[in-house]
Chains A and B, each alone.
Chain A
Amino acid sequence: MQPERLRAVIVSAQAGDSSAYRELLDTYGRRLYGYFLRATGSHHDAEDLLGEVMLRLVARLDKYDDRGRFEPWLFRIAANMVRDRIRRARANPVPGSLSIDSEAGASRADQLLANTGPVDDGLLAEEASGRLQRALMKLDDTTRNMILVRHFGQMNYKEIADLFQCPLGTALARVHRGLKALRRMMGSGYESD
């Protein structure tokens, strides 16, 4: 979406125009969903978080001060939601307390704690995609999220450092090591066999 159009859409949405929200969702929905899916490894959580982030958008958009940085603002909200969800999952690792995605009935919390994939393997049909998801889940939460907001939220490193409250050099060092670890875990590369 062109910056001028985005500004106009934001103004309409701030006035309560649902078609403007529809346009924002059409523009960012896929990326947000992708981010949530890769961050949690669960379609159920991704769908839930996408709905939640849109609700927060409705509640908070009137406070958004447009300086041409809507995407980082939106993905900052999304990243905080992911962080909260993972924290809650760690604090309450009770089977059934979160979405139950595996056929065996294991909760998302269990899956996160065990750091094992695959989750939603049936839905993440492609092997390369599934392997990447497993590799992502083996990274620590912060590094995984940094790589994901960089990709899906198109954040620059300064924004990533601000979001994760760490020095700029640390942010890039973590992303660098995370990417290397992913490449190592993926073996021959990112492409499907």
Chain B
Amino acid sequence: MNLTEQQYERVARHLDGQNLALSADEQAVRDEIARDEGMLAPAIAVPAEESLTGIRHAMVLVEIGIQENALGGILDVDVPTEAMDRAWRRTRSALARPQRRLLGVAAAAASIAAAAAALLVMTMIAEQPMHSTPAGKVATAHKAAPPSRAALTEAYLASVWAAQDPVINFLAAEIDQLEADVIASTPPAPVDIGLDQAERAVEEFWLDDAVLE
């Protein structure tokens, strides 16, 4: 026998303990469910011995979990505002580094563009007619074949990059070193002292544990 959704809901409320008067159909379903659950119960139970290994294993995990919780309490520290400020300064300077590099690259690109323009003008001048022959015939001067524009440009770019890259890298490294020196020269903050203490406490914690074992 099947009921409507509403009838099932009434039976469920009844089974959950509400005092509802059920219809004959609803009572029949309630009785059927109770009978099936009653028959299922002994068959579905798992023998105690089958769960023993699992229970022992779980208890070991519980012990570990408790120790981890205790350790978490030792490891947790209040972070002072100054430490957060210092961390932010370091983050900000790290973020600024790529921008400095970009500025260097932009400056190099501008100088390359200017050099390329100058090279182009010089090449155009070099390709103009040089002089007239005694017979009055106009002739183009024969000179040794000049290197192609592409080859010239490539050579010039290589020289510019060779000159620019080490300078930019050197400056960036110098700035990084300077920042590191400034940070290192700052006196130890309370958070550093706190961290040292926490580290020692953790060592003692594990040491105690090992001794107890």
Contacts and interface: CB of A to CB of B under 8 A. Distances in A.
B43 interface: yes
A69 interface: no
Interface in A83-116: none
A3 interface: no
Contacts of A34: 44-46, 51
A18 B66 contact: yes
Contacts of A50: 51, 54-55, 57-58
A68 interface: no
B36 A179 contact: yes
Given A58-B62, A58-B66, A191-B43, A33 B54 contact: yes
Interface residues of B, number: 45
A16 B46 contact: no
Contacts of A183: 36, 39
Nearest to A53: B58
B6 A169 contact: yes
A167 B5 contact: yes
Given A47-B54, A156-B17, A18 B40 contact: no
Interface stretch (B7-15, B80-88, B111-119, B168-176): B7-15
Contacts, number: 149
A85 to B, nearest CB: 15
B33 A179 contact: yes
Contacts of A129: 43
A158 B7 CA distance: 15
B44 A151 contact: yes
B29 interface: yes
Given A51-B58, A58-B65, A170-B5, A37 B16 contact: no
Interface of A: 16, 18, 21-22, 25-26, 29-30, 33-34, 37-38, 43, 46-47, 50-55, 57-59, 123, 128-129, 132, 147-148, 150-151, 156-158, 161, 167-173, 175-177, 179-180, 182-183, 189-191
Given A51-B61, A52-B61, 4 more contacts: A21-B59, A43-B50, A150-B37, A169-B6
Interface of B: 2-9, 11-13, 15-17, 29, 32-33, 36-37, 39-46, 48, 50-51, 53-55, 57-66, 69-70
